[in-house]
Amino acid sequence: MSSLGTTVIGGGISGIACARALAEQGRAVQVLDRGRRLGGRMGGRTLHGRVVDLGASYLTVGADSPFAPVVAGWVDRGLARPWTDTFAVAGPDGVEQTKTGPMRYGTAGGLRTLVEDLATGLDVELERTVHAVTGGDRPSVDGRPTDAVVLAMPDPQATRLVTPDADVPDADWQPTLSVALGWPTRRWAADLHGAFVHDSPVLDWLADDGDRRGDGAAVLVAHSTAAFAADHLEDPDAAAPAVAAAVRAALGISEEPEWSHVHRWSFAKPAHAREAPFDLTGGLGLCGDGWSAPSKVESAWRSGDALGHALAAALPA
């Protein structure tokens, strides 16, 4: 009997890394994602004529990481670009200092273009919402048999898909609101790049989107605290004025923004990512940034890549 292949559900970077690893080992694999485009939490949206990153702000990579050659390839081909290693640190009432850390990479076309590049040549079906999955000896996706199933998504989303007899570990996940704010021209220092905001009930972080994307647009993207997001999940648009006010106070901007756009991430990040790189029990694999702690793009890629290799070795020849 011919092999049915593996079905990867989730076209974020972990699912695509997993599918890529399987395909490179000569395994049949199909990716299903409910979105109109790949990328998951590396997604963005076209607002006022340009793409704005509304999920991850940037990516980082360790020098010895297996992800490093992938990032280097993106940089070589002009898809990713080193952005900055230095951000501001702000309190609720103003910028206090700068902080230098690892190089952060951005993109001209939006971070999801990196996931789309990684998916080149893979069998991907978009706008395909999966409703039910079984694992064990007879894996299936919405009743269709498959050799193995990979759930590459936050735990709460994975849990919903798995029948009660399957083993999906649970964990707490935190929400975030991403709020894009546009002004006619920059109202902040050209070398701001971004700012970590401490002691604010509203704001965690803000990024200069025109700076990281390289087009100089006067657009900031603010990420709310988890507690503020939890209070506004039902009506996220109503949160825009409070976030704009907090951004203006942190950066000393006197003018209101010309426009705003709110995106709700119900499962932005795990409260506690696991150290283990993935789970593989029978024909059911779990990967994503809830594994390979700490939660970030690099961890999600590593988790998916490691699961893909493990699955390729575990499946019958």
Ligand X SMILES: Cc1cc2nc3c(=O)[nH]c(=O)nc-3n(C[C@H](O)[C@H](O)[C@H](O)COP(=O)(O)OP(=O)(O)OC[C@H]3O[C@@H](n4cnc5c(N)ncnc54)[C@H](O)[C@@H]3O)c2cc1C
The binding site for ligand X (CB under 6 A) comprises: 9-15, 32-35, 40-42, 55-60, 129-130, 152-154, 157, 161, 176, 178, 223, 265, 268-269, 288-289, 295-297, 300
303/287 Cα distance (integer angstroms): 5
The tokens for 73 are 């390839």
Structure tokens at 37: 């485009």
**What is the smallest separation between the CB atom of 178 and ligand X, expressed in angstroms?**
5
The β-bridge relationship of strands 50-53 and 44-47 is: antiparallel
Q: How far is the CB of 282 from ligand X (least distance, A)?
A: 20
Output DSSP code: residue 255: S
Distance CA 159, CA 108 (A): 35
Cβ proximity to ligand X: between 146 and 295 the closer is: 295
Least gap, CB of 8 to ligand X (angstroms): 9
Cα Rg of the chain, angstroms: 20
Task: Report the candidate in 75, 293, 104, 112 with the shortest Cα–Cα distance to residue 207.
Answer: 104
Can you tell me the distance from the alpha carbon of 119 to that of 19, in angstroms, rounded to the nearest whole number? 8
Comparing CA positions, the residue from 117, 55, 44, 52 lying closest to residue 80 is 117
Nearer residue to ligand X within complex by CB, 257 or 289: 289
Q: How far is the CB of 107 from ligand X (least distance, A)?
A: 12
Shortest distance in whole angstroms from residue 136 CB to ligand X: 19
Q: Smaller CB distance to ligand X: residue 93 or 127? A: 127
In the complex with ligand X, the residue whose CB is nearer, 73 or 252, is 73
User: For ligand X, which is the closer residue by CB, 58 or 188?
Assistant: 58
